[in-house]
Structure 1
């Protein structure tokens, strides 16, 4: 190590401790022969090396609805997402930056009986925001709330394998499963599963959680304000957090450029250069499990005909969508919802490429030449949804298909359009395991089965794969399931999209999670102001 390199390391440590200014560090680095760009990058990394407390973190989100509540059984979009993961709520476990499952409210978890039983030890001394102590009974009551016979919670599908959940003293919870599940703890990381305060057998749905922030103001569909929980077992770094619902991509970009928010998600990729060149801005660009989808209701004409579903898949030029809608920030889908980076992912054959002649042939076989269909689109589904639908309509003309694009309102899209209209757009943020992704989106009885697809072989394989401990056999089962989805299902996985947003360089952070947007939902308590 040269003398300059040694002094540079000392200078970086001084920056981390707040003892050296940006100007003085830059002067030193330039004098040593480094470029201004390199000097600036080194300063930012050093400044972010140590988390600090304080400040008001404001975020602009392309999510939110006037129907939002703090009942986790109703949560369905990206504003709700963090409520259960890193704001008011606290789940038993979390997903780390490497995709592993780690304890959070739990101190530990252990399998027994061939992974048919799981024992969770609960952290001692944890309290809800109102001061009530958290016990194993709260965990049991939370699970029963989502799994009860009248429950319409989307989380119910994740817990379908649970036959019983019992408290064993104040700090131990035992899950008994119908069938073995080596991945079971991952299911409890889902954002619908913050542990609720149970009083007289009833869950508190007011936002009174055990998380790092306390609810301090709520205007559904507009904004939510939180303050740091002074008694949190895992404190957040910010003094305050405000989530703003800004569903229009241009308005969200303008809010960021005007300094009204410190982070904006779902960047409008048509104007990404504006964000990339904005002062004091870092592009949040993470390749993960998110995909943009066009689900068809397979129990509704004309999508109840297999040839129609397959024809539409061949009539869409997905690479063109990636190029013109994502501007390269992603890759084409092939109708398996399992991202290529996930364990057990395959790429079923034949790969759906743009082939209007094949689409025509399938429609002729179905007796449905000159097919006319409608597709519902809105930026609430994903940024660029309307542009995507218009491109799809133009592409399909070569196959003799007329697609009428219905522009839906952003507000209420998830309540009034998704799983209600025969063909629409949606996005899936991804899930940490293949089993979780397939269970919540395609299992026959899943609340979010947005194609209403009920393939007998798929539903036979799903619990078998979950219980299989032989990795090779398990991989073969997941490969067969993905092929079934590809061949028979109603999902049109248009493209896997990077999580792209804009963040101020004032924000410090570590490595990002790739399992979902917003650093896996944990940005509110992981990040800090430098």
Structure 2
């Protein structure tokens, strides 16, 4: 990192002239750290898919706004029956998919029925479990009947996994996505960049950008020169380590440190010995020094968490004191578990910096209490296959960036392998509850159960460190959903 000041100084004169001409631009190169495995939000769990396509190429009945609010999208309005079970959506008319085909109620029924089908490959299939029937009333009206009331239904329909696709193009969306959004897919240079272009036939307000390139820049060391040279004009979320103060002091750039929905956790296989033992999980919780982990994994930024919930949510409870950092207590619990002589395990780390850097610290901390971890670096495709799908792991580190996703702990086939009927009952009641005050209380109960059970090592809420040209506006400061929404982005004088 010794060369950052030199790099900053050397590029200052070159950028002074180049940035002056950017106000009139209608193109944008935006840097992202991870390449999506494919381009279909309805068929994959990787956040990188939504980070490129959500709100840009694909749209749902509803959408999540920059403040986490539910907004109309392909449904311009809706009514809800008195018993809370029937949602009647009035759809926008005159909407076309990017291949020129018309959007109508048949596409909604196809998409929702496909997502909830027995053979569905949707990574968030549970979002649709409450749906009983989806019926076409007329080409611009759809009636969705639920098996029971679900307070989060409209919010769920705003996830990337719930976007509306056409039957004609659904099977090829992984390589050639066809949506209804303000941008159309143009090109995917594998390993390099994904390019979108403005959709001239968009039903809504036209976007200012004519072209947006999502450039894959996996290494922070490469991100800084790309930014300083003007080759990349924006990084919505990037780790730049010791260079951050210098960039913050440079008036050519805007640095925005916001919040995410990224609960960063030491994910634990709760059915694999010795992690099926509560005392071992409690020992791990006591061994974790969140500050040291955050210093290494996120330049000290972020917010410590004690359960799986975002501090930005009104229902958040600070449970970090449930298992305070206490090595002596951790060793005592390991002895009570019959493991005073230690145990070996594996720690599979995906390629992101917060996992690789934080993993080194965690391995050192757990070694101190007798848990000797073999660190196994894996690429994202392998992580998704080995860890997320096949549950072939002991421990791993990942940020769960899906919005408001505490309900994943009640899924019986989820990769944590966690099973607690008391927690399931709280989530079941939450699903049936529309009253906001009651929902808040249930969320708090759910957080407490997870904290007490030490299901995972709850580390910190991933910060969103956005750096972009000061003449850009409209990029999201926070990430209430895993998205880089470009619909309001433009260059200004």
Deviation at 1:220, TM superposition (A): 3.6
Instruction: Tell me the distance in 2 between the aligned counterparts of 1:268 and 1:408.
Output: 22
484-493 vs 122-131, which deviates more? Answer: 484-493
Change (3 A) 1:510 1:250: closer
TM-score w.r.t. the length of structure 1 is 0.82
Computed over aligned residues only, the root mean square deviation of the Cα atoms, in angstroms, reads 2.5
Counterpart pick for 2:40 among 71, 77, 82: 71
1:143 is aligned, of 98, 108, 112, to 112
Give the match for residue 101 of structure 2.
Answer: 132
Matched, 1:251 2:222: yes
How far off its partner does 1:107 sit? 0.6
Structure 2 contact 476–484 (Cα < 8 Å) conserved: no
Compute the displacement of 1:296 (Å). 0.7
Instruction: Output the CA distance in 1 between the equivalents of 2:121 and 2:421.
Output: 23
C-alpha contact (below 8 Å) 2:279/2:334 kept by paired residues = yes
Deviation per residue, 1:407-432 (Å, 9 max, x gap): 3345644334444322111112241x
Determine if the alignment matches structure 1 residue 438 to structure 2 residue 403: no
Q: Which residue of 2 aligns with 1:529?
A: 491
What SS is found at the alignment partner of 2:384? helix
- Aligned 8 A contact 1:110 1:119 in 2: yes
Larger radius of gyration: 1
Q: 1:108 to 1:472 in 2, by over 3 A?
A: closer
1:507 pairs, out of 453, 468, 472, with 472
TM-score by length of 2: 0.87
Q: 1:126, 1:189 → 2: CA distance? A: 18
Structure 1 stretches lacking a partner, 5+ long? 1-43
User: Residues 53 and 136 (structure 1 numbering): CA distance in 2 closer, same or farther, change over 3 Å?
Assistant: farther
Structure 2: gaps (5+ residues): 1-19
Q: 1:142 to 1:204 in 2, by over 3 A?
A: farther
1:189 and 2:158 matched: yes
Specify the SS of the correspondent of 2:195. strand
Partner SS state of residue 138, structure 2? coil
- Hey, what's the Cα distance between the residues in 2 that align with 1:225 and 1:116? 41
Name 2:439's counterpart in structure 1.
474
Contact 2:272/2:394, CA 8 A, preserved across alignment: yes
CA separation of 1:181 and 1:409: change in aligned 2, threshold 3 A: closer
Shift of 1:466: 1.9
Matches within 5 A, 1:48-447: 55-65=26-36, 68-199=37-168, 205=173, 206-234=176-204, 235-264=206-235, 265-278=237-250, 280-334=252-306, 336-348=307-319, 350-369=321-340, 370-380=342-352, 383-409=353-379, 412-418=382-388, 419-431=391-403, 433=404, 437-439=405-407, 441-445=408-412
Is the CA contact 1:253–1:268 (under 8 Å) kept in the aligned structure 2?
yes
* SS in structure 2 of the partner of residue 424 of structure 1: strand
Separation (CA, whole Å) in 2 of partners of 1:309 and 1:119: 46
Superposed displacement of residue 391, structure 1: 1.1
| Count of paired positions | 465
- Mapped to 2, the partners of 1:302 and 1:239 lie a distance apart of 55
Contact 2:96-2:102 at 8 Å conserved across structures: yes
| 8 Å Cα contact 1:356/1:396 also seen in 2 | no
Relative distance call for 1:59 and 1:420 in structure 2 (3 A) is: farther
